[in-house]
């Protein structure tokens, strides 16, 4: 058996895998980091979670059989990695007041609006971090990542009906947390 055709075939597969991984990073690098940041609440740890997510994705790239399920596949990896990180560092201190705000783009002009938005973001961020991890995850996937119940079910490995119930409970818990921040009655 000649090795040259076999090596050429292996090189072609390796190049295709590298190209697929480059596309994956290009499309999901920022969303996965933002998702991890909201799950973990610490930018450095979120960067580690995002990096670990892509390392795991690269190793498991051959298990991705359907391009349509790429989004739920990468978010499932990110979710599991974030949950592992939360378990490992459960005893660490929460974010400081200075780190608690999430910086979002502001289209409005004026320093007053910027200060008010920063305070609001900080309070929402604190409320979000006080949620149970599965409630936080479900809210983030639904409201920020705009995933359907079906997609969330794939990420969280639940039935869609259970996702809808969890989302309802998560929203109720978030309302309670926002009330403690003085944002809702």
Q: Is the domain of 83 the same as that of 123?
A: no
| pLDDT for res 160 | 93
Average pLDDT on 149-169 reads: 93
What mean pLDDT is predicted for residues 90-94?
A: 52
Q: Is there a single domain that holds both residue 83 and residue 133?
A: no
User: What does the H/E/C string look like for the chain?
Assistant: CCHHHHHHHHHHHHHHHHHHHHHHHHHHHHHHHHHHHHHHCCHHHHHHHHHHHHHHHHHCHHHCCCHHHHHHHHHHHHHHHHHHHHHHCCCCCCCCCCCCCCCCCCCCCCHHHHHHHHHHHHHHHHHHHCCCHHHHHHHHHHHHCCCCHHHHHHHHCCCHHHHHHHHHHHHHHHHHHHHHCCCCC
pTM (predicted TM-score): 0.62
Residue after which a domain boundary falls, among 41, 61, 95? 95
pLDDT of residue 110: 63
> Which residue segment(s) compose the domain that 127 sits in?
108-185
């Amino acid at each position: 058996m000649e090795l040259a055709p076999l090596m050429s075939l292996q090189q072609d597969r390796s190049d295709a895998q590298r190209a697929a991984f480059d596309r994956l990073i290009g499309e999901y690098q920022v969303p996965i980091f933002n998702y991890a940041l909201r799950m973990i609440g610490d930018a450095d740890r979120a960067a580690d979670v995002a990096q670990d997510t892509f390392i795991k994705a690269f190793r498991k790239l051959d298990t991705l059989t359907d391009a349509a399920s790429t989004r739920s596949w990468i978010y499932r990896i990110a979710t599991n990695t974030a949950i592992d990180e939360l378990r490992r560092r459960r005893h660490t201190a929460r974010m400081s007041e200075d780190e608690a705000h999430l910086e979002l783009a502001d289209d409005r002009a004026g320093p007053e609006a910027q200060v008010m938005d920063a305070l609001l973001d900080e309070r929402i961020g604190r409320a979000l971090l006080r949620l149970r991890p599965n409630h936080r995850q479900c809210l983030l996937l639904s409201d920020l990542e705009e995933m359907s119940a079906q997609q969330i079910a794939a990420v969280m490995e639940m039935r869609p009906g259970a996702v809808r119930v969890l989302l309802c409970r998560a929203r109720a818990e978030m309302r309670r947390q926002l009330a403690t921040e003085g944002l809702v009655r």
